[in-house]
Protein backbone atom coordinates (compact mmCIF):
# COMPACT_ATOMS: atom_id res chain seq x y z
CA UNK A 1 0.00 0.00 0.00
CA UNK A 2 1.30 3.47 -0.83
CA UNK A 3 2.17 5.77 2.02
CA UNK A 4 -1.04 6.73 3.76
CA UNK A 5 -2.27 9.44 6.06
CA UNK A 6 -4.08 7.63 8.85
CA UNK A 7 -6.06 8.84 11.87
CA UNK A 8 -6.29 6.51 14.88
CA UNK A 9 -8.66 7.46 17.72
CA UNK A 10 -7.93 6.21 21.26
CA UNK A 11 -4.55 6.10 23.01
CA UNK A 12 -4.81 3.08 25.31
CA UNK A 13 -3.59 -0.33 24.10
CA UNK A 14 -4.89 -1.09 20.59
CA UNK A 15 -4.48 2.48 19.27
CA UNK A 16 -0.79 3.06 20.15
CA UNK A 17 0.14 -0.50 19.12
CA UNK A 18 -1.51 -0.02 15.72
CA UNK A 19 0.06 3.41 15.31
CA UNK A 20 3.52 1.99 15.99
CA UNK A 21 3.16 -0.80 13.42
CA UNK A 22 1.76 1.61 10.81
CA UNK A 23 4.44 4.23 11.35
CA UNK A 24 7.08 1.52 10.95
CA UNK A 25 5.92 1.24 7.33
CA UNK A 26 6.37 4.94 6.72
CA UNK A 27 2.70 5.84 7.09
CA UNK A 28 1.81 9.25 8.49
CA UNK A 29 -0.13 8.49 11.66
CA UNK A 30 -1.95 10.76 14.09
CA UNK A 31 -3.50 9.41 17.30
CA UNK A 32 -6.24 11.52 18.87
CA UNK A 33 -7.29 10.74 22.46
CA UNK A 34 -10.30 12.35 24.10
CA UNK A 35 -8.83 12.39 27.62
CA UNK A 36 -7.21 15.76 28.28
CA UNK A 37 -3.91 14.17 29.25
CA UNK A 38 -2.40 10.73 29.44
CA UNK A 39 -4.19 8.73 32.13
CA UNK A 40 -1.76 6.85 34.33
CA UNK A 41 -2.45 3.73 36.39
CA UNK A 42 -5.68 1.91 35.70
CA UNK A 43 -6.41 -1.70 36.49
CA UNK A 44 -4.29 -4.80 36.14
CA UNK A 45 -4.51 -6.48 32.75
CA UNK A 46 -2.60 -9.40 31.38
CA UNK A 47 -0.62 -9.98 28.22
CA UNK A 48 -0.84 -13.60 27.17
CA UNK A 49 -0.45 -16.02 24.27
CA UNK A 50 -0.31 -14.37 20.86
CA UNK A 51 -0.49 -10.95 22.55
CA UNK A 52 2.85 -11.70 24.11
CA UNK A 53 4.25 -12.63 20.68
CA UNK A 54 3.23 -9.19 19.38
CA UNK A 55 4.96 -7.53 22.33
CA UNK A 56 8.09 -9.57 21.57
CA UNK A 57 7.98 -8.52 17.91
CA UNK A 58 7.70 -4.90 19.04
CA UNK A 59 10.86 -5.37 21.12
CA UNK A 60 8.95 -4.50 24.29
CA UNK A 61 8.93 -7.73 26.26
CA UNK A 62 11.81 -6.91 28.57
CA UNK A 63 10.55 -3.46 29.52
CA UNK A 64 7.05 -4.79 30.09
CA UNK A 65 8.43 -7.59 32.22
CA UNK A 66 10.29 -4.99 34.30
CA UNK A 67 7.06 -3.06 34.87
CA UNK A 68 4.68 -5.89 35.80
CA UNK A 69 2.82 -5.88 39.11
CA UNK A 70 4.82 -8.94 40.26
CA UNK A 71 1.71 -10.71 41.51
CA UNK A 72 2.56 -14.20 42.72
CA UNK A 73 -0.85 -15.82 42.40
CA UNK A 74 -4.46 -15.67 43.50
CA UNK A 75 -5.83 -16.69 46.92
CA UNK A 76 -9.55 -17.29 47.46
CA UNK A 77 -10.13 -16.24 51.06
CA UNK A 78 -12.93 -16.47 53.63
CA UNK A 79 -14.12 -13.70 55.95
CA UNK A 80 -11.26 -14.38 58.37
CA UNK A 81 -8.74 -14.03 55.53
CA UNK A 82 -7.98 -17.76 55.57
CA UNK A 83 -6.93 -19.08 52.19
CA UNK A 84 -9.46 -21.63 50.96
CA UNK A 85 -7.81 -22.19 47.56
CA UNK A 86 -4.65 -20.89 45.93
CA UNK A 87 -3.24 -20.80 42.41
CA UNK A 88 0.32 -19.65 41.85
CA UNK A 89 1.28 -17.70 38.79
CA UNK A 90 2.87 -20.79 37.22
CA UNK A 91 -0.03 -23.14 37.94
CA UNK A 92 -1.07 -23.12 34.29
CA UNK A 93 2.27 -22.43 32.64
CA UNK A 94 2.01 -18.68 33.27
CA UNK A 95 -1.30 -18.48 31.36
CA UNK A 96 -3.76 -19.18 34.20
CA UNK A 97 -6.11 -16.76 36.02
CA UNK A 98 -3.05 -14.70 37.00
CA UNK A 99 -0.77 -14.63 33.98
CA UNK A 100 2.98 -14.26 34.02
CA UNK A 101 2.75 -10.75 32.55
CA UNK A 102 0.30 -8.71 34.64
CA UNK A 103 0.66 -4.98 34.19
CA UNK A 104 -1.42 -1.90 34.97
CA UNK A 105 -3.32 -0.81 31.91
CA UNK A 106 -1.92 2.73 32.14
CA UNK A 107 1.63 1.42 32.44
CA UNK A 108 1.23 -0.68 29.29
CA UNK A 109 -0.35 2.23 27.41
CA UNK A 110 2.49 4.51 28.51
CA UNK A 111 5.13 2.08 27.25
CA UNK A 112 3.34 1.68 23.91
CA UNK A 113 3.02 5.44 23.46
CA UNK A 114 6.65 6.13 24.42
CA UNK A 115 7.79 3.43 22.01
CA UNK A 116 6.24 5.23 19.03
CA UNK A 117 6.12 8.88 19.95
CA UNK A 118 9.08 9.88 17.79
CA UNK A 119 7.17 8.75 14.69
CA UNK A 120 3.52 9.11 15.67
CA UNK A 121 1.77 12.43 16.37
CA UNK A 122 -0.25 12.18 19.59
CA UNK A 123 -2.96 14.71 20.37
CA UNK A 124 -4.79 14.60 23.70
CA UNK A 125 -8.01 16.36 24.66
CA UNK A 126 -9.70 16.05 21.28
CA UNK A 127 -12.10 13.71 19.52
CA UNK A 128 -14.10 13.38 16.34
CA UNK A 129 -17.21 15.56 16.19
CA UNK A 130 -18.23 14.61 12.65
CA UNK A 131 -16.81 12.54 9.81
CA UNK A 132 -17.69 11.91 6.19
CA UNK A 133 -16.29 9.20 3.96
CA UNK A 134 -16.55 10.33 0.30
CA UNK A 135 -14.98 7.14 -1.03
CA UNK A 136 -11.60 8.78 -1.67
CA UNK A 137 -10.90 10.20 1.78
CA UNK A 138 -12.49 10.58 5.20
CA UNK A 139 -13.15 14.21 6.09
CA UNK A 140 -13.00 14.77 9.84
CA UNK A 141 -14.11 17.70 11.96
CA UNK A 142 -12.78 17.57 15.51
CA UNK A 143 -14.36 18.88 18.72
CA UNK A 144 -11.50 21.38 18.84
CA UNK A 145 -12.73 22.84 15.55
CA UNK A 146 -9.81 21.52 13.49
CA UNK A 147 -10.66 19.91 10.15
CA UNK A 148 -8.55 17.37 8.29
CA UNK A 149 -8.89 14.68 5.61
CA UNK A 150 -7.36 11.20 5.98
CA UNK A 151 -6.96 8.17 3.74
CA UNK A 152 -8.18 5.93 6.55
CA UNK A 153 -9.67 6.36 10.03
CA UNK A 154 -9.26 3.54 12.56
CA UNK A 155 -11.31 3.65 15.75
CA UNK A 156 -9.63 2.25 18.89
CA UNK A 157 -11.99 3.98 21.31
CA UNK A 158 -12.84 1.02 23.54
CA UNK A 159 -16.15 -0.63 24.38
CA UNK A 160 -18.20 2.58 24.49
CA UNK A 161 -16.85 4.09 21.25
CA UNK A 162 -19.11 7.00 20.30
CA UNK A 163 -17.65 7.33 16.80
CA UNK A 164 -18.27 3.64 16.13
CA UNK A 165 -21.89 4.08 17.20
CA UNK A 166 -22.23 7.03 14.84
CA UNK A 167 -20.70 5.19 11.88
CA UNK A 168 -22.23 1.73 12.36
CA UNK A 169 -25.54 2.67 14.06
CA UNK A 170 -27.80 -0.33 14.66
CA UNK A 171 -25.07 -2.75 13.62
CA UNK A 172 -23.44 -2.35 17.05
CA UNK A 173 -24.56 -5.25 19.24
CA UNK A 174 -23.79 -5.28 22.96
CA UNK A 175 -23.96 -8.59 24.85
CA UNK A 176 -24.43 -7.86 28.56
CA UNK A 177 -23.02 -10.32 31.08
CA UNK A 178 -25.33 -9.09 33.88
CA UNK A 179 -22.43 -7.98 36.02
CA UNK A 180 -21.27 -4.62 37.36
CA UNK A 181 -17.68 -4.11 38.37
CA UNK A 182 -16.15 -1.15 40.18
CA UNK A 183 -12.41 -0.46 40.22
CA UNK A 184 -10.38 1.99 42.26
CA UNK A 185 -7.06 2.50 44.00
CA UNK A 186 -6.56 2.54 47.79
CA UNK A 187 -3.61 2.90 50.16
CA UNK A 188 -1.56 -0.23 50.56
CA UNK A 189 -1.28 -2.03 53.89
CA UNK A 190 0.97 -4.98 54.89
CA UNK A 191 -1.80 -7.62 54.60
CA UNK A 192 -2.04 -6.83 50.88
CA UNK A 193 1.17 -8.78 50.19
CA UNK A 194 2.05 -9.94 46.65
CA UNK A 195 -0.98 -12.11 46.05
CA UNK A 196 -4.38 -11.17 44.63
CA UNK A 197 -7.04 -11.95 47.25
CA UNK A 198 -10.55 -12.82 46.13
CA UNK A 199 -13.39 -12.78 48.70
CA UNK A 200 -16.81 -14.14 47.73
CA UNK A 201 -19.91 -12.81 49.46
CA UNK A 202 -23.35 -14.49 49.28
CA UNK A 203 -25.63 -12.81 46.80
CA UNK A 204 -23.27 -13.12 43.85
CA UNK A 205 -20.83 -10.44 45.02
CA UNK A 206 -17.08 -10.36 45.40
CA UNK A 207 -14.34 -8.02 46.62
CA UNK A 208 -10.81 -8.44 45.28
CA UNK A 209 -7.59 -6.73 46.31
CA UNK A 210 -4.58 -6.74 44.00
CA UNK A 211 -1.07 -5.48 44.68
CA UNK A 212 0.45 -3.14 42.12
CA UNK A 213 4.02 -2.02 41.47
CA UNK A 214 3.35 1.62 42.39
CA UNK A 215 3.01 1.18 46.16
CA UNK A 216 -0.81 1.11 46.20
CA UNK A 217 -3.52 -1.56 46.06
CA UNK A 218 -6.17 -2.01 43.39
CA UNK A 219 -9.70 -2.86 44.53
CA UNK A 220 -12.32 -4.57 42.42
CA UNK A 221 -15.91 -4.95 43.63
CA UNK A 222 -18.47 -6.77 41.55
CA UNK A 223 -22.12 -7.66 41.83
CA UNK A 224 -24.52 -9.42 39.52
CA UNK A 225 -27.27 -7.30 38.08
CA UNK A 226 -28.92 -6.96 34.69
CA UNK A 227 -27.95 -3.68 32.93
CA UNK A 228 -29.52 -0.90 35.00
CA UNK A 229 -27.72 2.24 33.85
CA UNK A 230 -25.53 2.46 36.97
CA UNK A 231 -22.52 3.34 34.80
CA UNK A 232 -24.26 6.65 34.01
CA UNK A 233 -24.75 7.69 37.67
CA UNK A 234 -22.57 10.45 39.11
CA UNK A 235 -19.45 9.44 40.97
CA UNK A 236 -21.08 10.11 44.38
CA UNK A 237 -24.17 8.12 43.43
CA UNK A 238 -21.98 5.21 42.38
CA UNK A 239 -20.07 5.35 45.68
CA UNK A 240 -23.40 5.30 47.62
CA UNK A 241 -24.62 2.37 45.55
CA UNK A 242 -21.46 0.40 46.35
CA UNK A 243 -21.70 1.21 50.08
CA UNK A 244 -25.27 -0.04 50.09
CA UNK A 245 -24.56 -3.20 48.05
CA UNK A 246 -21.55 -4.18 50.14
CA UNK A 247 -22.74 -3.11 53.61
CA UNK A 248 -21.95 -5.72 56.28
CA UNK A 249 -20.02 -7.87 53.81
CA UNK A 250 -17.19 -8.72 56.24
CA UNK A 251 -13.48 -9.39 55.60
CA UNK A 252 -11.66 -6.17 54.56
CA UNK A 253 -14.74 -4.69 52.91
CA UNK A 254 -15.16 -1.85 55.53
CA UNK A 255 -11.59 -0.68 54.78
CA UNK A 256 -12.28 -0.83 51.05
CA UNK A 257 -15.56 1.10 51.34
CA UNK A 258 -13.91 3.68 53.60
CA UNK A 259 -11.35 4.36 50.88
CA UNK A 260 -14.07 5.16 48.35
CA UNK A 261 -14.31 8.80 49.42
CA UNK A 262 -10.70 9.55 48.57
CA UNK A 263 -10.35 7.26 45.57
CA UNK A 264 -9.26 9.42 42.64
CA UNK A 265 -10.16 6.87 40.01
CA UNK A 266 -13.49 5.17 40.80
CA UNK A 267 -14.75 3.52 37.64
CA UNK A 268 -17.97 1.47 37.45
CA UNK A 269 -18.71 -0.53 34.33
CA UNK A 270 -21.50 -2.74 33.09
CA UNK A 271 -19.49 -5.76 31.99
CA UNK A 272 -20.31 -6.97 28.51
CA UNK A 273 -19.12 -7.64 24.99
CA UNK A 274 -19.24 -5.91 21.61
CA UNK A 275 -20.29 -8.05 18.68
CA UNK A 276 -20.23 -6.67 15.17
CA UNK A 277 -21.05 -8.43 11.92
CA UNK A 278 -18.30 -6.38 10.22
CA UNK A 279 -15.36 -4.37 11.48
CA UNK A 280 -15.06 -1.87 8.66
CA UNK A 281 -17.21 0.39 6.55
CA UNK A 282 -15.61 2.12 3.58
CA UNK A 283 -12.41 3.75 4.79
CA UNK A 284 -13.25 3.44 8.50
CA UNK A 285 -12.33 0.38 10.59
CA UNK A 286 -12.40 -0.82 14.19
CA UNK A 287 -9.63 -2.32 16.30
CA UNK A 288 -9.57 -3.64 19.89
CA UNK A 289 -12.48 -3.35 22.29
CA UNK A 290 -14.32 -0.92 20.00
CA UNK A 291 -14.80 -3.72 17.49
CA UNK A 292 -14.74 -6.90 19.53
CA UNK A 293 -14.59 -6.41 23.29
CA UNK A 294 -14.63 -9.84 24.90
CA UNK A 295 -15.03 -8.45 28.47
CA UNK A 296 -12.58 -8.59 31.38
CA UNK A 297 -14.05 -12.00 32.26
CA UNK A 298 -12.42 -13.47 29.14
CA UNK A 299 -8.96 -12.25 30.21
CA UNK A 300 -8.29 -11.74 26.50
CA UNK A 301 -9.00 -8.06 25.80
CA UNK A 302 -5.39 -6.93 25.72
CA UNK A 303 -4.23 -9.84 23.61
CA UNK A 304 -7.07 -9.25 21.14
CA UNK A 305 -6.20 -5.55 20.94
CA UNK A 306 -2.48 -6.20 20.40
CA UNK A 307 -3.04 -8.95 17.83
CA UNK A 308 -5.73 -6.95 16.04
CA UNK A 309 -3.36 -3.98 15.77
CA UNK A 310 -0.56 -6.16 14.40
CA UNK A 311 -2.72 -7.98 11.85
CA UNK A 312 -4.49 -4.82 10.67
CA UNK A 313 -1.19 -3.00 10.18
CA UNK A 314 0.35 -5.99 8.39
CA UNK A 315 -2.60 -6.41 6.03
CA UNK A 316 -2.71 -2.68 5.25
CA UNK A 317 0.96 -2.94 4.39
CA UNK A 318 0.67 -5.87 2.05
CA UNK A 319 -2.48 -4.94 0.14
CA UNK A 320 -2.70 -2.08 -2.33
CA UNK A 321 -6.40 -1.75 -1.63
CA UNK A 322 -7.73 -1.00 1.85
CA UNK A 323 -10.91 -3.03 1.17
CA UNK A 324 -8.83 -6.17 0.66
CA UNK A 325 -6.71 -5.35 3.69
CA UNK A 326 -9.77 -4.93 5.94
CA UNK A 327 -11.24 -8.20 4.63
CA UNK A 328 -7.99 -10.10 5.27
CA UNK A 329 -7.71 -8.57 8.77
CA UNK A 330 -11.20 -9.74 9.61
CA UNK A 331 -10.70 -13.21 8.11
CA UNK A 332 -7.59 -13.77 10.25
CA UNK A 333 -8.88 -12.27 13.47
CA UNK A 334 -12.53 -13.35 13.46
CA UNK A 335 -12.02 -16.98 14.66
CA UNK A 336 -9.66 -15.79 17.44
CA UNK A 337 -12.20 -13.22 18.57
CA UNK A 338 -15.12 -15.66 18.38
CA UNK A 339 -13.47 -18.19 20.67
CA UNK A 340 -12.41 -15.43 23.11
CA UNK A 341 -16.01 -14.20 23.22
CA UNK A 342 -17.34 -17.66 24.03
CA UNK A 343 -17.75 -16.69 27.69
CA UNK A 344 -20.98 -18.35 28.87
CA UNK A 345 -23.60 -15.95 30.21
CA UNK A 346 -23.58 -17.85 33.52
CA UNK A 347 -19.79 -17.29 33.99
CA UNK A 348 -20.30 -14.51 36.59
CA UNK A 349 -22.54 -16.88 38.62
CA UNK A 350 -19.78 -19.50 38.65
CA UNK A 351 -17.16 -16.96 39.70
CA UNK A 352 -19.39 -15.49 42.42
CA UNK A 353 -21.94 -18.03 43.68
CA UNK A 354 -25.08 -16.80 45.42
CA UNK A 355 -25.17 -19.05 48.50
CA UNK A 356 -22.66 -19.99 51.21
CA UNK A 357 -22.95 -23.59 50.03
CA UNK A 358 -22.13 -22.53 46.47
CA UNK A 359 -19.12 -20.53 47.67
CA UNK A 360 -17.86 -23.57 49.65
CA UNK A 361 -18.31 -25.84 46.63
CA UNK A 362 -16.53 -23.32 44.43
CA UNK A 363 -13.55 -23.28 46.79
CA UNK A 364 -13.45 -27.10 46.76
CA UNK A 365 -13.37 -27.15 42.95
CA UNK A 366 -10.67 -24.48 42.88
CA UNK A 367 -8.58 -26.50 45.36
CA UNK A 368 -8.67 -29.41 42.92
CA UNK A 369 -7.88 -27.21 39.94
CA UNK A 370 -4.14 -27.71 40.12
CA UNK A 371 -4.29 -31.42 40.96
CA UNK A 372 -3.08 -33.80 38.22
CA UNK A 373 -6.00 -34.97 36.12
CA UNK A 374 -8.21 -31.99 36.94
CA UNK A 375 -5.61 -29.51 35.82
CA UNK A 376 -6.17 -30.06 32.10
CA UNK A 377 -9.94 -30.12 32.42
CA UNK A 378 -10.25 -27.04 34.60
CA UNK A 379 -7.44 -25.30 32.75
CA UNK A 380 -9.76 -25.12 29.76
CA UNK A 381 -12.16 -23.00 31.81
CA UNK A 382 -9.62 -21.06 33.84
CA UNK A 383 -7.20 -20.13 31.07
CA UNK A 384 -8.44 -19.04 27.63
CA UNK A 385 -6.85 -20.22 24.39
CA UNK A 386 -4.73 -17.13 24.06
CA UNK A 387 -2.51 -18.59 21.35
CA UNK A 388 -5.33 -19.74 19.04
CA UNK A 389 -4.12 -17.65 16.10
CA UNK A 390 -1.19 -18.06 13.72
CA UNK A 391 0.25 -14.58 13.45
CA UNK A 392 1.67 -14.05 9.94
CA UNK A 393 5.25 -12.87 9.50
CA UNK A 394 4.68 -9.66 7.57
CA UNK A 395 7.68 -8.58 5.49
CA UNK A 396 6.39 -5.00 5.48
CA UNK A 397 6.61 -4.87 9.26
CA UNK A 398 10.30 -5.73 9.25
CA UNK A 399 11.15 -2.27 7.86
CA UNK A 400 12.31 0.42 10.23
C1 LIG B 1 -10.72 -3.24 34.91
C2 LIG B 1 -10.39 -3.94 33.67
C3 LIG B 1 -9.70 -5.13 33.76
C4 LIG B 1 -9.32 -5.78 32.61
N5 LIG B 1 -8.62 -6.95 32.71
C6 LIG B 1 -8.16 -7.54 31.59
C7 LIG B 1 -7.33 -8.70 31.65
O8 LIG B 1 -7.07 -9.24 32.70
N9 LIG B 1 -6.82 -9.18 30.51
C10 LIG B 1 -7.08 -8.61 29.33
O11 LIG B 1 -6.56 -9.09 28.33
N12 LIG B 1 -7.88 -7.52 29.23
C13 LIG B 1 -8.41 -6.97 30.33
N14 LIG B 1 -9.22 -5.86 30.24
C15 LIG B 1 -9.56 -5.31 28.96
C16 LIG B 1 -8.45 -4.45 28.38
O17 LIG B 1 -8.11 -3.33 29.15
C18 LIG B 1 -8.89 -3.97 27.05
O19 LIG B 1 -9.62 -5.02 26.47
C20 LIG B 1 -7.68 -3.65 26.23
O21 LIG B 1 -6.96 -2.65 26.90
C22 LIG B 1 -8.08 -3.16 24.83
O23 LIG B 1 -7.94 -1.82 24.81
P24 LIG B 1 -8.42 -0.80 23.73
O25 LIG B 1 -7.24 0.05 23.42
O26 LIG B 1 -9.12 -1.49 22.61
O27 LIG B 1 -9.57 0.03 24.48
P28 LIG B 1 -9.51 0.81 25.85
O29 LIG B 1 -8.43 0.31 26.72
O30 LIG B 1 -10.88 0.84 26.40
O31 LIG B 1 -9.10 2.30 25.38
C32 LIG B 1 -9.91 3.14 24.61
C33 LIG B 1 -9.28 4.53 24.58
O34 LIG B 1 -10.02 5.36 23.70
C35 LIG B 1 -10.29 6.60 24.32
N36 LIG B 1 -11.52 7.13 23.73
C37 LIG B 1 -12.79 6.77 23.99
N38 LIG B 1 -13.62 7.44 23.19
C39 LIG B 1 -12.87 8.24 22.40
C40 LIG B 1 -13.17 9.15 21.37
N41 LIG B 1 -14.43 9.38 20.98
N42 LIG B 1 -12.13 9.80 20.77
C43 LIG B 1 -10.86 9.57 21.16
N44 LIG B 1 -10.52 8.71 22.13
C45 LIG B 1 -11.52 8.04 22.74
C46 LIG B 1 -10.41 6.25 25.79
O47 LIG B 1 -10.20 7.38 26.61
C48 LIG B 1 -9.31 5.21 25.95
O49 LIG B 1 -8.06 5.80 26.17
C50 LIG B 1 -9.66 -5.22 31.36
C51 LIG B 1 -10.40 -4.04 31.29
C52 LIG B 1 -10.77 -3.41 32.44
C53 LIG B 1 -11.60 -2.14 32.38
Tens-digit pLDDT string for the chain (400 aa): 666 999 999 999 999 999 999 999 999 999 999 999 887 767 888 888 999 999 999 999 999 999 998 889 999 999 999 999 998 887 766 666 777 788 999 999 999 999 999 999 999 999 999 999 999 999 999 999 999 999 999 999 999 999 999 999 999 999 999 999 999 999 999 889 999 999 999 999 999 999 999 999 999 999 999 999 999 999 999 999 999 999 999 999 999 999 999 998 899 999 999 999 999 999 999 999 999 999 988 889 999 999 999 999 999 999 999 999 999 999 999 999 999 998 877 777 788 889 999 999 999 888 887 676 665 666 556 556 788 899 999 987 875 5
Name the residue at shortest CA distance from atom 51 of ligand 1. 296
Q: Please write down the HEC assignment for all residues of the chain.
A: CCCCEEEEECCCCHHHHHHHHHHCCCCEEEEEECCCCCCCCCCEEECCHHHHHHHHHCCCHHHHHHCCCCCCEEEEECCCCCEEEEEECCCCCCECCCECCEEEHHHHHHHHHHHHCCCCEEEECCCEEEEEECCCCEEEEECCCCEEEECEEEECCCCCCHHHHHHHHHHCEEEEEEEEEEEEEEECCHHHCCCEEEEEECCCEEEEEEECCCCEEEEEEEEECCCCCHHHCCHHHHHHHHHHHCCCCCCCHHHHHHCCCCCCCCEEEEEEEEECCCCEECCEEECCHHHHCCCHHHCCHHHHHHHHHHHHHHHHHHCCCHHHHHHHHHHHHHHHHHHHCCCCCCHHHHHCCCCHHHHHHHHHHHHHCCCCCHHHHHHHHHCCCCCCCCCCCCHHHHCC
Name the residue at shortest CA distance from atom 14 of ligand 1. 296
Distance from the alpha carbon of residue 395 to the mean position of ligand 1, in angstroms: 29
Q: Which residues line ligand 1 (CB under 6 A)?
A: 9-15, 32-35, 43, 45-46, 105, 127, 156-158, 161-163, 183, 288-290, 296, 299-303, 305
Specify the ligand 1 atom closest to the Cα of 108. Answer: 21
pLDDT reported for residue 101: 83
pLDDT reported for residue 382: 56
Specify the ligand 1 atom closest to the Cα of 163. Answer: 41
Name the residue at shortest CA distance from atom 49 of ligand 1. 12
pLDDT reported for residue 247: 96
Name the residue at shortest CA distance from atom 18 of ligand 1. 301
pLDDT reported for residue 191: 87
pLDDT reported for residue 83: 96
Specify the ligand 1 atom closest to the Cα of 32. Answer: 43
Distance from the alpha carbon of residue 288 to the mean position of ligand 1, in angstroms: 8
pLDDT reported for residue 378: 62
pLDDT reported for residue 120: 97
pLDDT reported for residue 324: 97
Distance from the alpha carbon of residue 6 to the mean position of ligand 1, in angstroms: 21
Specify the ligand 1 atom closest to the Cα of 43. Answer: 1
Distance from the alpha carbon of residue 117 to the mean position of ligand 1, in angstroms: 20
pLDDT reported for residue 298: 85
Amino acid sequence: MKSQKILVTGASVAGPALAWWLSRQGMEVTVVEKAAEFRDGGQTIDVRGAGRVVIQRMGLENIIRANTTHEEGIAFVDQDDRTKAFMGVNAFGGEGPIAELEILRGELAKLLILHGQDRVAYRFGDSIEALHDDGEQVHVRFESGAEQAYDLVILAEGIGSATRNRVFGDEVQRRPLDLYTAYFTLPRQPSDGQVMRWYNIPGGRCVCLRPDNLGTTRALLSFQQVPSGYEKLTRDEQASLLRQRFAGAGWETPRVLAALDDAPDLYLEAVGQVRMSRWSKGRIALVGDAGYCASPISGMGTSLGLCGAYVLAGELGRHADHTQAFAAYEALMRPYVTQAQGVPRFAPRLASPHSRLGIGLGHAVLRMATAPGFKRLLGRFLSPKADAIDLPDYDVLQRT
